[in-house]
Amino acid sequence: MRLVRWTPDDLVRRLDDVVAVYGEAMNYRADLLEARRGYIATHVRRPGFRAVASLTSEGHLAGFGYGYLGTPGQWWHDQVHRALTAGARQRWLADCFEVVELHVRPPAQGHRLGTRQLTALLRMAPGSTTLLSTPEADEQRSRAWRLYRRFGFVDVLRHFHFPGDERPFGILGRDLPLT
């Protein structure tokens, strides 16, 4: 398995694979995935965009991650902004790299690909803080939650609901740079 940095063009070129990995990892319905395709394609043009991919020796996509600098007017940023206090907004959103997606195909999970992807992504991330959202889960049993806690992510918001999604999410953050 090799980890590579992706340009915006690399991600768009492999968009079908990216959406497939995303769907497998999140267990989302096909209709929701079609909507995500459009969002992902527009994210590559955001300021501070960074992406990584885990590729098998045959070039198949086993996992990926990407993010960008959050700014007012972006849907996720604005949802979180509204839920935070003024002090928390200044602390977390003033110069924030948002980890938008970080996924590994289920058969490839448990081999530290997520760790390698998150390390690489955060090492090249601009900004002084980073935030991400993840579905609420048992922190001891969830691989994602254990990964984020190992990286020093702390609770920013818990049991947060995004419009259109019935699941609660945790909003987690940490300072940058990654040391």
> d(Cα 31, Cα 33) in Å, to the nearest integer?
5
> d(Cα 127, Cα 175) in Å, to the nearest integer?
9
Q: Which pLDDT value is given to residue 37? A: 87
Angle separating helix axes 15-26 and 30-43, nearest 10 degrees? 130
> pLDDT digit string (tens) for 54-104?
999 999 999 999 999 999 999 999 999 999 999 999 999 999 999 999 999
Annotation says 68 is catalytic: no
pLDDT at residue 30 greater than cutoff 90:
no
% of residues, the chain, pLDDT over 90: 89
The answer to whether 101 and 22 are in contact (CB under 8 A) is: yes
Q: What average pLDDT does the chain have?
A: 95
Beta strands in 43-113 (DSSP E): 50-55, 61-69, 96-104
